Amino acid sequence: MVKIRLTRGGAKKRPFYHIIVTDSRNPRDGRNIERLGYYNPVATGGEKRIELNTERVKHWVGTGAQLTDKVATLYKEALKGADAPAAKA
């Protein structure tokens, strides 16, 4: 089964996650099929929290891939962010 899930990176106490497409049998940080974006839970200031290619997510879901719970939440958040007008600083 193909899954869209998070793989961890970053330093100790500073997590950074890539959103990837992989076979569910692969280990968390193992081989992946495609990288769709990233999630930075400790983003501050001008750093982006979520960067996600929503068109590719739609493609993979259409071919039978399943989103994990966290990635589904991030996907909804990314869709909201894409619809909202850019804030001026």
The range of the structural domain enclosing residue 15 comes to: 2-81
Q: Is residue 88 part of a domain?
A: no
Say yes or no to pLDDT of 23 above 90.
Answer: yes
DSSP per residue over the chain, as a string?
-EEEEEEEEEETTEEEEEEEEEETTS-TTS--SEEEEEE-TT--TT--SEEE-HHHHHHHHHTT-EE-HHHHHHHHHHHHHHHSPPPP-
Kindly state the percentage of the chain with pLDDT values over 70: 91
Residue 12 counted as domain residue: yes
Look up the pTM and report it: 0.86
Predicted pLDDT at 51: 94
Give the model confidence (pLDDT) of 38-65 as tens digits: 999 999 889 999 999 999 999 999 999 9
The verdict on residue 87 lying in a domain is no
- Answer yes or no: is 34 within a domain: yes
Q: Is residue 66 part of a domain?
A: yes
In a domain, residue 43? The reply is yes
CATH number of the domain that 15 lies in?
A: 3.30.1320.10
Q: Is 49 within a domain?
A: yes
Q: What is the mean pLDDT of residues 17-29?
A: 94
